[in-house]
Amino acid sequence: MGPIDCAGTGGLAICARGASPRAGTGAVQGADLTGRGAAKAVAGASVHALADWQRQEHTYAALDLGTNNCRLLIALAAPAGSGQDGFRVIDSFSRIVRLGEGLSRTGELGAAAIERTLCALEICRDKMQARGVTRRRLIATEACRSAANGAECLAKVRAATGLDLEIVDRETEARLAAAGSVSLADSAAEGVILFDIGGGSSELVWLAGAAPPCAQSTDMAPLERIRFWVSLKIGVVTLAEEFGGIEVSGAMFEAMIAHAARELESFVAMADGERRGRHFHLLGTSGTVTTIAGVFLGLARYDRRRVDGLWMSSGQVDHAVARLRRMTYEERAANGCIGHGRADLVLAGCAILEAIRRAFPADRVRIADRGLREGMLIQLIRADRDAARAES
């Protein structure tokens, strides 16, 4: 699909194919423009530039290759002021590939795991080609980041599929997760902990209170809520491989919680003294929390529309986790919100969640079925909009 050109925006590397859109119709010509006339001319130019950008109808893609999943979103930019998160999804793909299977023991990505991943990425490539994607960002996270042969794996991906994935660092991963889901944080809260329980790592971000609407003058205002973050080197795959995930006794579950709690200590220390306020809550984005939400709702089949944005009380989370723990492996595999691919991982995710909840008790947890991919789409679209404004 050709080379990818990279540009920076808001502290994040944003990759897009081709040059920034031209805003020829927004060019301002003529003599001295002063006072109100100048303001009107510049405003008119900005409107024309944005209209020109929107007419080009770029198609955006965001791909996240994680330790457990390969996920793709393809979207179009939503009109400004439409109430959407800047885009409208037109296609998606998700497949459990377990790229990081055995990584915690061997330090390398296995041949079978790489082959599964290549098959999934070929589907992603075909979808992007079929949809005529013109802007894209393709990232790989913890598995490729920590594996001795991570770069070699991505070279194989490039040769077999033509897709050029970038390995992002932990800060970028945390910020992208925040960019994709921060819109679900309670604007009245003085403090919010956003967490993303992944396959090989888990990111936590402390969000400060939102600025008053009149002070939110830039598109980057939501990300300015980030006070600090941490990336833990544990996830559902690594924890399940260390402790087991098929038959999980009460003692084993507590041992997993204790292990996760030790990893959390640095973040707990950073949060000491931070204001929480009465609206403080947790905001979770990952397969763990969406599974818990699906089990709580009693869904026979997972339904994103009912899960994304759901508020759950602490007691409701307790009840759903207890129900999951009572299930046998076979019952988890048969559950429409879990399936065979994650039946041996979900309790490890619950243990990480419990460690977070014990360290930061909160009356409410909000569930987000959004994260890295949405963050990438938002950043790509904003980069184009900013370019159109700059050219005006």
Q: What is the pLDDT averaged over residues 313-341?
A: 97
Q: Among candidates 6, 27, 33, 36, which has minimal Cα distance to 18?
A: 6
| Number of Cβ atoms within 10 Å of the Cβ of 26 | 21
Tokens 């309670």 sit at which residue?
186
- For residue 303 the two structure tokens come to 């339904």
Is pLDDT larger for residue 140 or for residue 27? 140
DSSP 11-34: TEEEEESSPPPP-GGG---SS---
Cβ(197)–Cβ(288) below 8 Å: yes
Cβ(75)–Cβ(60) below 8 Å: yes
Q: How far is Cα of residue 336 from the mean position of the Cα atoms in its chain?
A: 23
Q: Among candidates 175, 240, 185, which has minimal Cα distance to 211?
A: 185
Give the pLDDT confidence score for residue 244 in this predicted structure. 93
Residue 40 pLDDT > 80, yes or no? no
Quick: pLDDT tens for 237-276: 999 999 999 999 999 999 999 999 999 999 999 999 898 9
The model's confidence at residue 25, banded by pLDDT at 50, 70 and 90, is very low
Quick: pLDDT tens for 199-247: 999 999 999 987 655 544 444 456 788 999 999 999 999 999 999 999 9
Residue type, 379: Q
Tokens 């393809």 sit at which residue?
74
- For residue 391 the two structure tokens come to 């050219």
Q: Among candidates 67, 66, 96, 71, which has minimal Cα distance to 341?
A: 96
Helix (H, G, I), strand (E, B) or coil at 152: helix
The model's confidence at residue 86, banded by pLDDT at 50, 70 and 90, is confident
What span, in angstroms and rounded, lies between the C-alpha atoms of 28 and 48? Answer: 10
Give the pLDDT confidence score for residue 96 in this predicted structure. 95
- For residue 102 the two structure tokens come to 């055995």
Quick: pLDDT tens for 365-376: 999 999 999 999
The model's confidence at residue 45, banded by pLDDT at 50, 70 and 90, is very low
Give the pLDDT confidence score for residue 389 in this predicted structure. 81
Greatest CA span in the chain, whole angstroms?
79
Give the pLDDT confidence score for residue 211 in this predicted structure. 65
Q: What is the pLDDT averaged over residues 373-383?
A: 94
Percent of the chain topping pLDDT 70: 81
Mean model confidence pLDDT for the chain: 85
Residue 32 pLDDT > 50, yes or no? no
Is pLDDT larger for residue 222 or for residue 40? 222
Q: Among candidates 177, 107, 110, which has minimal Cα distance to 139?
A: 177
pTM more than 0.85: no
SS3 content of the chain, % helix, strand, coil (to 5): 45, 20, 35
CATH superfamily of 182-372: Exopolyphosphatase. Domain 2 (3.30.420.150)
Residue 34 pLDDT > 60, yes or no? no
Q: Are strands 364-368 and 281-285 parallel, antiparallel or unpaired?
A: parallel
Q: What is the pLDDT averaged over residues 114-140?
A: 98
Q: Among candidates 226, 93, 168, which has minimal Cα distance to 376?
A: 168
Q: Are strands 59-65 and 135-140 parallel, antiparallel or unpaired?
A: parallel
Give the pLDDT confidence score for residue 212 in this predicted structure. 59
Residue type, 148: A
The model's confidence at residue 35, banded by pLDDT at 50, 70 and 90, is very low
Identify the sign of the CA torsion 14, 15, 16, 21.
positive
Give the pLDDT confidence score for residue 339 in this predicted structure. 94
